[in-house]
Structure 1
C-alpha cells in the first residue's frame, strides 16, 4: 500500500470512529450522516406534489408494466397478477377463491377459467364442462367485457390506481424489493401511500390505496412481452351473453 493510500485509509477510519462516537454519545448524526438522496435520481428532494407528477408521467410513458396485489372495488376483493401494455394485457385474477385468466389483444378479450368458475357463474355443470380450460371470447356488448377488460387496460387501470386522495406529504426514505424509494402520502396515509423509485426513472413501485382498498406492487417497467392469439382448438366463441360470477 502506498503512503497516499495508507493516509486515506487512516483518515477514513478516523472519520468513521468520530462519527460512531458522536452517534453513541448524543444520538445525533450531525455532519457525519450520509445524504439519503446521494446517487439517486433526485426526486426525493422534491415536494410531494412534484414527486407525484413525475411518477405519474413516468408510468404513463412506460411501454409496459407488471402489477400484482389486491384491489377492492364495490366491496369485492380481486387479487391480480397482470402484465400490461398499450396493445392489451394478460394475467390472472382471483375473486372469492376462484381464479381465472384474462387475455386482451387489441379489442378482443378472452377469459380462461376452470369448470369451478363457470359452474358457479352459470349455475349448471354443463357450462363448466364445455368451457373448462378454454379461451372464451367475450363479446364487447356483454357486461363482462366492461367489467374485466379494465384489468387489462394499462392506461385506465393506472390512471385510477395512482390517484391519491387528500393533502400530499413525503414520508421518508424506504425500500421496495431492494430498490430505494421515497414515500408520499395523502392525508397522513388515510388517503393512500405511494413508494416511488429513487433509482433510475421515478416509477411507482408500491401503492397502498385509500380506505384499505388494496395494496399493489409494480415491476418490470418498460419490459415488453408477447401477446399471442390462442389456438383455434383452445378457443370458444360463446356467441351470447356470458355467465358471470
Structure 2
C-alpha cells in the first residue's frame, strides 16, 4: 500500500535521529564540559539531557544503506515541523506540521515510484497536482510521520531503542565551527556510533555518526530557534483518505 511505503520511508530516515534523541527527562546539564574529568557515560548523559531540554532542533543528514536518504527537517516541541526527505532515484517529499495537522507533499517522481510506477504512479501524481496531503496522522500506518513532527515524541519514542554499550571517550574536534568532544559506543547490532558534543556553552549533541548498513551522519543545528508554521491554504490540500483510495484504485 502507498501508506505503508510512505510511513516506512519516514521511519528509516529517522534512524539517525533516534540514536541521538534517546534522552531522559532530566533538566539541562551545566554549561561547560570538563572532558578530562568526566567519564564517557557522564558526557553522553549531559548531551542527552541538554537535547531533552531543547525546544526545537534542525536535523540534517544522510543515511546510507541500500537506499541513501537525506533528511533536512526542523522540528519543535509544539508539534511543528518543516523539511524534506529525499531518496535519490526515488524522489522526495515535504513534511509540514503546524501543531494540529501534519501535511505531506510528495513530488511526482516519488509518487510514481512509490505507487508502483506506470499508470498508477502517473494517476497519483495527477491526482495530487502539487498539493499537500492532510490527515495523515489519523492513519495508524502513518504514525512515524506524526512522531517526526514533535521533538518530545521523538525523544519518548526512542528511549528504549537508543541504548548502547561499550561507551568510550573519543577526542576533541570541531563540528560546523563549534568545539566538540566525541563519545563512542556500540548498538545492539554491533555498529559504532560516534556522538560529537559541544564543549562550550550548553553541551548539545552536534553530530551523530553511525557505521553499518544503515550508517550515515546527522548534524543538529538551529537548536532552540523558534518555528512559525502556517497551514497551507485550503485549495492546496487534499484529504489523505480520499487520496489513498483514489491513488490505489486501479
TM-score by length of structure 1 reads: 0.73
- State the Cα distance separating 1:77 from its structure 2 match: 4.0
| CA shift in 2, pair 1:158/1:81, >3 Å | farther
RMSD over aligned CA atoms reads: 2.8
Equivalent position SS for 2:137: coil
Pairing 1:157-168 to 2, within 5 Å after superposition: 157-158=154-155, 160=158, 163=162, 165-168=164-167
How many corresponding residue pairs? Answer: 204
CA distance in 2, matches of 1:67, 1:192: 17
Whose relative contact order is higher, 1 or 2, with alpha carbons under 8 Å and at least 6 apart?
2
Among candidates 57, 74, 83, match of residue 83 of structure 1: 74
CA distance in 1, matches of 2:178, 2:39: 20
- Equivalent in the alignment of 1:186: 185
Among candidates 152, 163, 166, match of residue 155 of structure 1: 152
Runs of 5+ unmatched residues, structure 2: 1-30
CA distance in 1, matches of 2:108, 2:73: 22
Determine if the alignment matches structure 1 residue 51 to structure 2 residue 43.
Answer: yes
1:106-125 per-residue CA deviation (whole Å, 9 max, x = no partner) reads 34211012222223333242
Q: CA contact under 8 A between 1:196 and 1:204: conserved in structure 2?
A: yes
TM-score by length of structure 2 reads: 0.72
1:184-232 per-residue CA deviation (whole Å, 9 max, x = no partner) reads 0014994301000011100000001253532100011111121111111
Q: CA contact under 8 A between 1:164 and 1:186: conserved in structure 2?
A: no
1:104-162 per-residue CA deviation (whole Å, 9 max, x = no partner) reads 22342110122222233332423211213211113334355224233323234456499
Q: CA contact under 8 A between 2:172 and 2:182: conserved in structure 1?
A: yes
Q: CA contact under 8 A between 2:33 and 2:203: conserved in structure 1?
A: no
Q: CA contact under 8 A between 1:111 and 1:138: conserved in structure 2?
A: no
- Equivalent in the alignment of 1:65: 57
- Equivalent in the alignment of 2:132: 135
Equivalent position SS for 2:183: strand
CA distance in 2, matches of 1:187, 1:50: 16
Q: CA contact under 8 A between 1:138 and 1:145: conserved in structure 2?
A: no
Q: CA contact under 8 A between 2:128 and 2:238: conserved in structure 1?
A: yes
CA distance in 1, matches of 2:102, 2:61: 22
- Equivalent in the alignment of 2:13: none
Among candidates 93, 100, 124, match of residue 100 of structure 1: 93
Among candidates 223, 239, 243, match of residue 241 of structure 2: 239
Equivalent position SS for 1:226: coil
CA distance in 1, matches of 2:153, 2:209: 18
Q: CA contact under 8 A between 2:127 and 2:243: conserved in structure 1?
A: no
